[in-house]
């Protein structure tokens, strides 16, 4: 049979995210090597591959060379996989090839692995296995020194099993994250496909990635993708695997502030991502509050991920501006999720956020603030996080409002913005302006993808009633850069427009 890119028959693995980056799963009836260093979640991967199969009606055989069977049953129960029940139902079978002190064997001459093969074949036939995991072959190399013989025997085993039509996964140990694929160089010889699991230390944080190094004769996504081990097993977070679609909805929603709506040409778009940037105290949380409340007022559901302020603080602030968050939450129209940024890794934040969004199905989501998350992770993880979150929100056709805190009070942009501005549809800036011994506030819509918008830099005030957007600054210029110039004869040629605005921002 010729290997045509279009016709390779793939087996959907059912491991979240994996089928997306592998563009449909593993080639059916082939052997895939899962290589990784110690602690890179190889055993979890090998188990998840089988568990996901069982859950979709495809029985599996687990051949263990290292961990005792009892330990695997116990360890995998923590992912919600009831292996003993599957064994009773004839959906899962173990072949125990783990070291047995009572069965230590002395090698006196040339041998073959026919007994192992016969046992695996027996188990495959007994449960009608579609999938087989072997974890990990390393133990064999320790036990048997003749690696040339092992190599040809493993080749014979994988070929025989492939002829039986099963799709194989086997794990192999690596000694370093970037280097030889496997310690003994044996596994890649017998593998059709190679997947690498990495457990990296970057920016003083652990970061797991998966890379499809080789998928013989089949299309797949290249590069490393972050993944995380959750209480439901492995979740791969596809980034470039998701096609980033720009805002496609023409339906407008209110920002909660009529003047801001007007400046955006009639409100934000239904499925757009809005970045709200400003120094501390410029009114970001107020803008968020109004945005969420506007949704609730329309009978929608609003969701807030609060990484900076506690629920009580948010309730109190909202109440001060006349919004009863407590009642909105009671009525099921609002949900505030309060998480400490340091509590978990970015990947886990993302998984948790996606879970809440899926469950609550909000029309509006606010993240206050992205900067708080950025502080606890590396730039790369952070950017991947934002890409994943924005594409996920777009898939759900949910409007997302992210806040970003600028480090300086006057002018300036934050690192956050620099890295994610291209991922957002709309950017709204809130800035302090120092003017004749007074702190004033300015607001502008910097970008509004797919719509015309107001280029004015407007002054706004905050009082007990909320935010009031006034007219544009006519007596000064240079608001965005923080280098304010006061204009004589105010009103005349005041206020930078359009292109000039951008130049000033870049200069700042």
Partner 1 sequence: MGRFRFTLYVAGDTARSQQAYADLRRICQERLGDGDFEVTVVDVTVDPDAAEAERILTTPTVVKEEPAPRRRITGDLSDAQKVLTGLGLAPGWPAVHPGSNP
Nearer Cβ to partner 1 (102/204): 102
Which stretches of 128-217 are DSSP H helices? Answer: 138-143, 147-163, 187-190
What is the number of residues in the chain?
Answer: 508
| Binding of residue 163 to partner 1 (CB under 8 A) | no
- Determine, following the binding rule CB under 8 A, whether residue 464 of this chain makes contact with partner 1: no
Part in contact with partner 1 (CB under 8 A); list of ranges 115-123, 265-273, 349-357, 459-467: 115-123
Among 6, 104, 148, 488, binds partner 1 (CB under 8 A): 104
Closest approach of Cβ 213 to partner 1, in Å? 29
Which of these segments, 79-87, 106-114, 181-189, 437-445, binds partner 1 (CB under 8 A)? 106-114
Q: Is 237 in the site for partner 1 (CB under 8 A)?
A: no
Q: Does 97 bind partner 1 (CB under 8 A)?
A: yes
* Given 15, 18, 83, 95, the residue binding partner 1 (CB under 8 A): 95
Work out whether 106 is an interface residue with partner 1 (CB under 8 A). yes
Least distance between partner 1 and beta carbon 414 (Å): 59
Query: Looking at residue 214, what DSSP letter applies?
Result: E
Q: Of the listed pieces 117-125, 197-205, 342-350, 463-471, which binds partner 1 according to CB under 8 A?
A: 117-125
Q: Given its phi and psi angles, is residue 39 left (phi above 0), alpha (psi -120 to 50 degrees) or beta? A: left
Return the bridge partners of 227, or none.
Answer: 236
- When asked if residue 148 is in the footprint of partner 1 (CB under 8 A), the reply is no
Q: Measuring CA to CA, how many Å separate 504 from each of 149, 428, 469, 480?
A: 70, 15, 22, 7
- For 127, other C-beta atoms within 10 Å of its C-beta total 18
109 binds partner 1, rule: CB under 8 A: yes
- The H or E element containing residue 347 is helix 346-360
- Shortest Cβ 223–partner 1 spacing (Å): 38
96 binds partner 1 per the rule CB under 8 A: yes
Query: 58, 153, 224, 308: which is the annotated catalytic residue?
Result: 308
Question: Cα separations (Å) of 99 from 60, 92, 96, 142, 339?
Answer: 22, 21, 9, 10, 44
**Between residues 106 and 250, which has the closer beta carbon with respect to partner 1?**
106
Q: What is the smallest separation between the CB atom of 47 and partner 1, expressed in angstroms?
A: 20
8 A C-beta contact, residue 444 and residue 456: yes
Task: Please tell me the distance from the alpha carbon of residue 441 to that of residue 4, in angstroms, as a whole number.
Answer: 62
Check residue 7 for interaction with partner 1 (CB under 8 A): no
Q: Within 13 Å, how many C-alpha atoms sit on residue 169's CB side?
A: 27
Q: How far is the CB of 120 from partner 1 (least distance, A)?
A: 9
**Do the bridges between strand 224-230 and strand 205-215 make them parallel or antiparallel, or are there none, so unpaired?**
antiparallel
- Burial (CB < 10 A; 0-12, 13-18, 19+), residue 370, is buried
Q: What is the dihedral of CA 136, 137, 143, 147, to 10 degrees?
A: -160
Q: Which is nearer to partner 1, 94 or 323 (CB)?
A: 94
Q: Which of 100, 203, 359, 506 binds partner 1 (CB under 8 A)?
A: 100
> Would you count residue 114 as binding partner 1 (CB under 8 A)?
yes
- Say how far apart CA 275 and CA 289 lie, in whole Å: 15
Please tell me the distance from the alpha carbon of residue 503 to that of residue 508, in angstroms, as a whole number: 9
Instruction: Examine residue 111 and tell whether it contacts partner 1 (CB under 8 A).
Output: yes
Choose one: 104-112, 291-299, 368-376, 394-402; the region binding partner 1 (CB under 8 A): 104-112
For the chain, the distance separating the N- and C-terminal CA atoms, rounded to the nearest angstrom, is 62
To the nearest whole angstrom, how small is the minimum distance from the Cβ of residue 396 to partner 1? 49
Q: What are phi and psi of 56, to 5 degrees?
A: -110, 25
Q: Which residues, other chains included, contact 163 with Cβ-Cβ below 8 Å and sequence gap of 6+?
A: none
Task: Supply the minimum distance, in Å, between the C-beta of residue 370 and partner 1.
Answer: 54
Q: Is 115 in the site for partner 1 (CB under 8 A)?
A: yes
Is 103 near partner 1 (CB under 8 A)? yes
Among this protein's residues, is 55 annotated catalytic? no
Q: Do residues 162 and 30 touch, judged by C-beta distance below 8 A? A: yes
* Residue 116 interacting with partner 1 (CB under 8 A): yes
Q: Are 357 and 392 in contact (CB under 8 A)?
A: yes
Q: What are the Cα distances from residue 410, in Å, to 211, 369, 455, 505?
A: 43, 19, 19, 12
107 makes contact with partner 1 (CB under 8 A): yes
- 24 in helix, strand or coil? coil
By CB under 8 A, residue 71 contacts partner 1? no
Give the residue from 41, 49, 1, 38 showing the smallest Cα distance to 193: 49
Size of the site for partner 1 (CB under 8 A): 25
By CB under 8 A, name the one of 22, 32, 40, 121 that touches partner 1.
121
**Least Å from the CB of residue 234 to partner 1:** 29
Q: Minimum distance from CB of 104 to partner 1 (Å)?
A: 7
Binding of residue 113 to partner 1 (CB under 8 A): yes
Rounded Cα gap, residues 494 and 475, in angstroms: 6
In angstroms, what is the minimal distance from the CB of 333 to partner 1?
A: 59
Task: Restricting to residues 125-144, name those near partner 1 by CB under 8 A.
Answer: 144
Cβ closest to partner 1, residue 139 vs residue 423 = 139
Tell me: does residue 112 bind partner 1 (CB under 8 A).
Answer: yes
Pinpoint the alpha helices (H) of 128-252. Answer: 138-143, 147-163, 187-190
Residue 108 within binding range of partner 1, rule CB under 8 A: yes
Does the active-site annotation cover 374?
no
Q: Which residues bind partner 1 (CB under 8 A)?
A: 95-97, 100, 102-116, 118-119, 121-123, 144
Please identify every residue annotated as catalytic.
66, 308
């Amino acid at each position: 049979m010729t290997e045509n890119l279009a016709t390779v028959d793939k087996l959907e693995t059912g491991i979240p995210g994996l089928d997306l980056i592998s563009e449909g799963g593993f080639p059916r009836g082939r052997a895939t090597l899962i290589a990784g260093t110690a602690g890179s979640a190889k055993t979890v991967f090998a188990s998840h591959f089988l568990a996901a199969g069982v859950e979709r009606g495809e029985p599996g055989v687990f051949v263990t060379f290292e961990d005792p069977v009892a330990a695997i049953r116990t360890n995998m129960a923590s992912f919600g996989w009831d292996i003993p029940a599957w064994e009773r139902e004839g959906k899962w079978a173990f072949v125990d090839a783990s070291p047995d002190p009572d069965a230590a064997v002395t090698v006196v001459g040339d041998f073959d692995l026919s007994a192992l093969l016969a046992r695996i074949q027996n188990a495959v036939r007994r449960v009608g296995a579609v999938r087989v995991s072997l974890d990990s072959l390393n133990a064999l190399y320790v036990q048997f020194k003749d690696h040339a013989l092992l190599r040809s025997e493993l080749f014979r085993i994988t070929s025989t099993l492939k002829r039986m039509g099963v799709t194989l996964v086997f794990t192999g140990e690596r000694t370093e994250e970037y280097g030889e694929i496997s310690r003994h160089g044996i596994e890649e010889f017998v593998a059709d496909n190679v997947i690498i699991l990495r457990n990296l230390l970057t920016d003083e944080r652990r970061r797991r990635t998966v890379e499809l190094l080789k998928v013989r004769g089949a299309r797949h996504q290249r590069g490393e993708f972050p993944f995380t081990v959750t209480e439901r097993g492995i979740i791969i977070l596809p980034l470039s695997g998701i096609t980033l679609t720009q805002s496609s909805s023409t339906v407008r929603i209110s920002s909660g502030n009529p003047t801001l709506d007007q400046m955006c040409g009639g409100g934000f778009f239904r499925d757009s991502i809005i970045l709200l940037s400003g120094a501390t105290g410029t009114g970001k949380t107020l803008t968020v509050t109004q945005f969420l409340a506007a949704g609730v007022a329309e009978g929608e559901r609003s969701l807030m991920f609060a990484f900076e302020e506690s629920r009580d603080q948010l309730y109190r602030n909202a109440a001060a501006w006349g919004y009863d968050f407590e009642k909105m939450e009671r009525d099921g129209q609002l949900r505030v999720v309060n998480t400490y940024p340091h509590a978990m890794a970015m990947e886990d934040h993302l998984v948790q956020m996606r879970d809440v969004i899926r469950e609550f199905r909000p029309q509006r989501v606010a993240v206050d603030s992205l900067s708080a998350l950025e502080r606890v992770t590396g730039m790369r993880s952070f950017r991947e996080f934002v890409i994943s979150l924005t594409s996920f929100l777009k898939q759900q056709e949910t409007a997302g409002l992210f806040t970003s805190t600028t480090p300086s009070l006057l002018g300036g942009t934050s690192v956050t913005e620099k890295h994610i501005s291209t991922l957002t549809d709309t950017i709204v800036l809130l800035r302090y302006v120092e003017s004749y011994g007074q702190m004033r506030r300015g607001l502008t819509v910097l970008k509004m993808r797919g719509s015309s918008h107001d280029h004015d830099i407007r002054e706004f005030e905050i009082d007990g009633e909320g935010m009031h957007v006034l007219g544009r600054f006519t007596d000064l210029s240079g608001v965005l850069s923080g280098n304010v110039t006061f204009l004589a004869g105010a009103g005349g040629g005041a206020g930078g427009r359009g292109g000039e605005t951008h130049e000033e921002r870049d200069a700042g």
